[in-house]
Chains A and B, each alone.
Chain A
Amino acid sequence: MRLALTLRRRTIEPGLLAAIVVVWGGLALFTIYPALRVLFYPGAADYRAILSDPRYGRSLQHSLAMMGLSTASAVLLGLLFAVATTRADLPLRRFFSFVSFLPLFSPPFIVAFGYIMLFGKNGLVTHGLFGLRVSILGWRGLWLAQTLSFFPVATVAIRNVIATIPSSLSRAARNLGASRLKTFATITLPLASGGIFSAALLVAILVLADFGNPILIAGDYSVLATEAWQRVQGWADVGGACVLSLIVMLPSLLLFVAQRSWAKGKGFTTVGGKVSSMESEPTSRPAKLFLVLACSIASLLILMIYLALAAGSLVEGWGFDWRPTLRWFAELGPRWADLGRSLCYSAAAAAGSALFGIVAAYLVHSKRMPLSGAADLAAMLPAALPGIFIGIGYSIAFNRPPLDLYGTPLIVILALGTWNLSTSYQTGIESLKQIAPSLGEAATNLGARPLLVFRQIYLPLLRGPFASATVVGFIRSITTLSVIVFISTSSNSVATFSIMNFVNDGMYGKASALSVSLLVLAFAAVGLGGFALNRGVRSTQ
């Protein structure tokens, strides 16, 4: 006997119906509802405060200024690395490529932390080497930290575009008599301009939403994200925090929409996609010299961070007592549990979000989802939401019955999962577009019902994308601070939260020890994930 329900003249399998209910229910409850809570939580007085309280305007100003500065410098640096790493004949090319990947897999705030250790009041370079008592805290430090945190995103995006420019074009220009520099300026750069613009939008979103770097290094220079945190921490002003996260969300949403329509209209690749190695023209000696020099300096600035963290975790007292020790690792004590939680929560959030995202993508793509346009929007929404927005949303949406998740692992997992949903969903949609529709139809035609088609045809073919979405989601989750900072309590705190507290309390030894452990974990996950991914991809080919 077959159970069947009729919806719009069509019979629907119970399983499919369940999937639709789960996906729509999940989107409504975990994406739309928290977002609406943020919007409606503040009272009229909270909104009026935007004008009356100068702190709002100031932090907005700061946020926008940093967005402009850091985006410009990050994109410039990203372009430099993109050009350098696509020149086949550049010495140290692979090394530069490797270094530019490091920040992608690290918590963004370790850049700020590293620079405090190097250039801060007790900084190894400033104080230790030059005996200076200067402070890196403030907008200059933030600028440097954000530039180095986010330029890799620009590198990846721009490199993908440069790599798709046929080298025959620059050869043709050279053949017509253009100099190498002229060729770059008149052929490569204009063709890459779309990609550069798109990269700038992506970086701007990240800078705007950045919480970790400003909380550690910006000092009194408060930006929207940190101002929201101060309000909750200092004055328990949740309404004000909501207003601030709305203010930071609006430009982010605009940038996101601009980026999406730009990327769609121009057909430019954004982050992700394949980079084909091209047989480029030989690079001139001055260009080589410039690229190698510039990339070397930037690489040094990056590697120093990791060296400082490693060193910091192994000495008695950073800045004054350089005797080696392992005590910081030993004294982590209960904080090891944070690391364990980081691992478990991130893994659960990543896998859950990848599965949810891909199922949602299948339902939307196969037009089986009722209101699929709205579902598409809801699934893409988290990409436009800054981490603190989601964090605040969860903290006020799930803190009382019927869904009181305060202090539970679940609230962290759900928040992280939601934050990653768009990535998984988009991965799912893009991969489904690559799969010929005739495959599913062939199975349907032979008698397979929709859920079976998904399980037997699409799911096996989506194994690679699923794995990659999981790895990306895991890395993002385990390195984020902004999403979890508003929902962390002593019972569900994760490593990034503890690192922030250690740094703010000046406990650099413990902070470095925990950071190093976290990085080891993250890089191991990337390695393992990459390995599994390669195998997964190979097995489907």
Chain B
Amino acid sequence: MSFLEIDRASKRFGSRSVFEDVSLSVPRGDFLTLLGPSGCGKTTLLRSIAGLQELSSGEIRIGGERVEAGGAKGRAVLVFQDYALFPHMSVKKNVAYGLKLRGESHASVERKVSETLRYLGIVDLADRMPQQLSGGQQQRVALARALVVEPEVLLLDEPLSNLDAKLRVGIRAELKRIQREVGVTTVYVTHDQSEALALSDTVAVMESGRIAQVGTPREVYFEPADEFVADFVGTANVFDAVVEETGDSTGRLAAWGRRWRVGDELPAALSGREVRFCVRPEGLALVEAGTDGAIPGVVESKMFEGGHVRYWVNTGAQTFIVDEPAGASDHALRSEIAIKFMRGALHAIG
């Protein structure tokens, strides 16, 4: 039984549709990420869950109860992209705000606020004003303000986008830890695929108002449902090839007047058809030119990226992106080379 249900939800502003017929089910305690490029409707969907936006049709339920527009009344609490800390209230007052609205006793407010501040390691900021805080500190306060009311669903709108790169990775790990410890059902919105992959139990990839794919991070990365997902989640080499053989432990593909073997067992149903394939850069390896079953090409450009080296290899018909571990790999520019498909790297997307 899923806890948060989005049931055929649509949102239109006039004639412009923001998202259309979106359905999602999120089990209690799950970390769901809405991943997509800007303008895909993910933030509007998040705001609808928060009750800040009325749906044009369909409904959203939390624990079986419908979310009404006009604020989710503390049930689904949103951490805003710009944190939205009240500038005229101290950290403590900001965090206490939601509890006071519920009319909790002074003692209970005090206790819960200080517990939450302590949990997030910001006790010593309690009397500061928001303007006196760094971006990372503001973010913790915003998180504290949301968590202190013990929401049924925690909503995060690109919470890391205003932080610098170094800080982002650290806070990302902490966010994941906190979510796991608190166990709160979480919906996270981002356009950053690495955040989505690192944090989520489930990723929903959105493209112009529709859900393109829902799956685990591994699924959306290695088994993208379509070319958009393949391309948006990470770097992808997408190409069309005819499946000539679907043998036991090896298949054979043909494209561009060339045929080559792949280590994968291809489904027999594909046999004889032209299929669109996706292969990640790390699923390819560079071997010596002339190696049997490999596609010959020329190193067009290369880039050292720390952990790995990225090569652009032109095979005549298509340029493949190939990542090789940096330690062992050093192929010269314009050198003749061949591309080999690693076992299990190939994914048919239709």
> Do A and B assemble together?
yes
Q: Which of B79-87, B253-261, B334-342 contacts A (4 or more CB under 8 A)?
A: B79-87
Residue A448 interfacial (CB < 8 Å): yes
A420-464, CB under 8 A of B: which get 1 and which 0?
000000000000000010110111111111001000110011000
| Distance, CA A11 to CA B82, complexed state (A) | 29
* Contact (Cβ within 8 A) B72 A445: yes
CA distance A441 to B97 in the complex (A): 13
Instruction: Verify B71–A445 contact, CB threshold 8 A.
Output: yes
Residue of B nearest to A463 (CB): B88
How many angstroms between the C-alpha atoms of A444 and B70 in the bound complex? Answer: 7
Q: Is the CB of B101 within 8 A of A446?
A: yes
Instruction: Report how far A256 CA is from B74 CA in the complex, Å.
Output: 46
The contact of B71 among A10, A444, A461, A541, by CB within 8 Å, is A444
Indicate if B29 sits at the interface (CB-CB under 8 A): no
Asked if residues A10 and B70 are in contact (CB atoms below 8 Å), the reply is: yes
Residues of B within 8 Å of A444, CB to CB, are 51-52, 70-71
CB pair B82–A436 under 8 Å, yes or no, is yes
Distance between Cα atoms of A449 and B101 in the complex (Å): 10
User: B101–A441 contact, CB under 8 A?
Assistant: no
Is the beta-carbon distance between B72 and A460 smaller than 8 angstroms?
no
B50-74 near A? 1/0 per residue, CB < 8 Å: 1110000000000000000111111
Cβ–Cβ < 8 Å partners of B145 in chain A:
442, 446
A446 to B98, Cβ gap below 8 A? yes
Q: Report yes or no: B84 in contact with A438, Cβ–Cβ below 8 A.
A: yes
Interchain nearest-CB distance for A480 vs B (Å) = 34
- Enumerate chain B residues within 8 angstroms of A10, measured Cβ to Cβ: 69-70
Q: Do the beta carbons of B84 and A446 come within 8 Å of each other?
A: no
> Taking each of A439, A445, A457, A541, which has the highest tally of chain B beta carbons within 10 Å of its own beta carbon?
A445
Q: Given the known A-B contacts A11-B70, A438-B82, are A445 and B88 also in contact in the complex, defined by CB atoms under 8 Å?
A: no
| B49 → chain A closest CB, angstroms | 10
B80 / chain A contacts, CB cutoff of 8 Å = 438, 441-442
Q: Are B97 and A461 in contact (CB under 8 A)?
A: no
The reply to whether B51 and A460 contact each other, CB–CB distance below 8 Å, is no
Closest to B83 in A: A438
Q: Is B225 interfacial (CB-CB < 8 Å)?
A: no
B149 close to chain A: CB less than 8 A: yes
Interface of B is mostly: loop
B131 to A447, Cβ gap below 8 A? no
Residue of B nearest to A539 (CB): B88
Any chain B CB within 8 A of the CB of A175? no
Residues of B within 8 A of A540 (CB): 87-88
User: Nearest Cβ distance between residue B343 and chain A, in whole angstroms?
Assistant: 49
Q: Please report the C-alpha to C-alpha distance between residue A394 and residue B73 in the assembled complex, in whole angstroms.
A: 46
**CB-CB nearest in chain A for B99:** A446
Q: Point out the residues of chain A lying under 8 angstroms from B74, CB to CB.
A: 445-447
Q: Is the CB of A447 within 8 A of B98?
A: yes
Which of chain A's residues have a CB closer than 8 A to the CB of B102? 447
| Max count, chain B CB within 10 A of own CB: residue among A10, A11, A448 | A448
A: contact size bracket: 20 to 34
User: Considering only CB atoms, which chain B residue lies closest to A541 in the complex?
Assistant: B131
In the assembled complex, the Cα of A270 lies from the Cα of B142 at a distance in Å of 37
- Chain B residues 298-334 with CB under 8 Å of chain A are none
Shortest Cβ distance from A435 into B: residue: B87
Complex: how many Å from CA A113 to CA B81? 58
Interface of A, helix, strand, loop or mixed by DSSP: helix
Given the complex of chains A and B, what is the CA–CA distance between A448 and B77 in angstroms? 12
Chain A's nearest CB lies how many Å from the CB of B151? 9
Q: Given the interface contacts A10-B70, A11-B70, A541-B131, does A445 sit within 8 Å of B87 by beta carbon? A: no
Nearest A residue to B155 by beta-carbon distance?
A445
* Whole-angstrom distance between the Cβ of B102 and the nearest chain A Cβ: 7
Closest chain B residue to A9, Cβ basis? B54
Contact B84 A447 (CB under 8 A): no
Specify the chain B residue showing the minimal Cβ separation from A461: B88
Of B47, B71, B84, B149, the contact of A448 (CB 8 Å cutoff): B71
Bound-state Cα–Cα, A449 to B102, Å: 12
Chain B residues, CB < 8 A from A446: 71, 74, 77, 97-98, 101, 145, 149
Question: A441 near B84 (CB under 8 angstroms)?
Answer: yes
Q: Decide: A461 near B84, CB < 8 A? Known: A445-B51, A445-B78.
A: no
Interface string of B70-114 (1 = CB under 8 A from A): 111110111011101011100000000110011000000000000
Q: In the complex, what distance in Å separates the CA atom of A310 from the CA atom of B108?
A: 65
Bound complex: CA of A444 vs CA of B86, how far in Å?
12
Chain A 497-541 per-residue mask, 1 if CB under 8 angstroms from chain B, else 0: 000000000000000000000000000000000000000000011
| Residues of the B chain whose Cβ atoms lie less than 8 Å from the Cβ of A442 | 78, 80, 84, 86, 145
| Cα(A189)–Cα(B265), bound, Å | 75
**Once the chains are docked, how many angstroms separate the CA of A442 from the CA of B101?**
12
| A452 CA / B98 CA spacing, docked (Å) | 12
Complex CA–CA separation, A540 to B81 (angstroms): 22
B52 touches A445 (CB 8 A): yes
- Is B71 in contact with A447, judged by CB distance below 8 angstroms? yes
CB distance from B72 to the nearest CB of A (A): 6
Within 8 A of A (CB), among B12-35: none
Contacts of B82 in A (CB 8 A): 436, 438
Task: Give bound CA distance, A395 to B149, whole Å.
Answer: 57
Kindly report which residue of chain A lies nearest to residue B73, judged by CB atoms: A447
In the bound assembly, the distance between CA atoms of A452 and B70 in angstroms comes to: 13
Question: Which residues from B are CB-within-8-Å of A445?
Answer: 50-52, 71-72, 74, 76-78
Q: Give bound CA distance, A446 to B102, whole Å.
A: 9
- Bound-state Cα–Cα, A46 to B58, Å: 62
Note all chain B residues with C-beta closer than 8 A to A441. 47, 50, 52, 78, 80, 84
Closest to A450 in B: B70
Contact B97 A443 (CB under 8 A): yes
How far is it, in angstroms, between the C-alpha of A62 and the C-alpha of B284 when the chains are bound?
87
> In the complex, A442→B74 CA distance in Å?
10
Shortest CB-to-CB span from B187 to chain A, Å, is 13
Q: How far is the CA of A69 from the CA of B263 in the complex (A)?
A: 90
In the assembled complex, which residues on chain B have CB atoms less than 8 Å from the CB atom of A541?
A: 87, 131
A57 to B97, CA, bound (A): 64
Docked complex Cα distance between A441 and B76 (Å): 13
Nearest chain B CB to A440 CB, angstrom units: 9
What's the Cα separation between A436 and B101 when bound, in Å? 21
A473 to B6, CA, bound (A): 51
- The smallest beta-carbon distance between A414 and chain B, in angstroms, is 32
Q: Are A448 and B101 in contact (CB under 8 A)?
A: yes
Q: Are A447 and B88 neighbours in the complex by a CB distance under 8 Å?
A: no
Q: Which residue of A lies closest to B149 (CB)?
A: A446
Q: What's the nearest-Cβ distance from chain B to residue A462, in Å?
A: 10
User: Which A residues are in CB contact (< 8 Å) with B88?
Assistant: 460-461, 540
In the bound complex, how far is the Cα of B180 from the Cα of A159, in angstroms? Answer: 57
**Bound CA span A372–B93, Å:** 33
Instruction: Please indicate the chain A residues that have their CB under 8 angstroms from the CB of B69 in the complex.
Output: 10
Point out which of B47, B71, B76 has the most chain A C-beta atoms below 10 A from its C-beta: B71
Q: Nearest chain A CB to B46's CB is how many angstroms away?
A: 11
* Residues of B contacting A461 in the complex (Cβ-Cβ under 8 angstroms): 87-88
Complex A-B, nearest 4 residue pairs according to Cβ-Cβ distance, in ascending order: A438-B84, A446-B98, A444-B71, A442-B84
14 additional A-B residue pairs with CB within 8 Å, beyond A447-B74, A461-B87, A541-B131:
A11-B70, A436-B84, A441-B52, A443-B97, A444-B71, A445-B72, A446-B74, A446-B77, A446-B145, A447-B101, A447-B102, A452-B101, A457-B86, A541-B87
Q: List 23 A-B contacts (CB under 8 A).
A: A438-B80, A439-B84, A439-B86, A441-B50, A441-B52, A441-B78, A441-B84, A442-B86, A442-B145, A443-B86, A444-B51, A444-B52, A444-B71, A445-B50, A445-B52, A445-B77, A445-B78, A446-B74, A446-B97, A446-B98, A447-B71, A448-B71, A457-B86
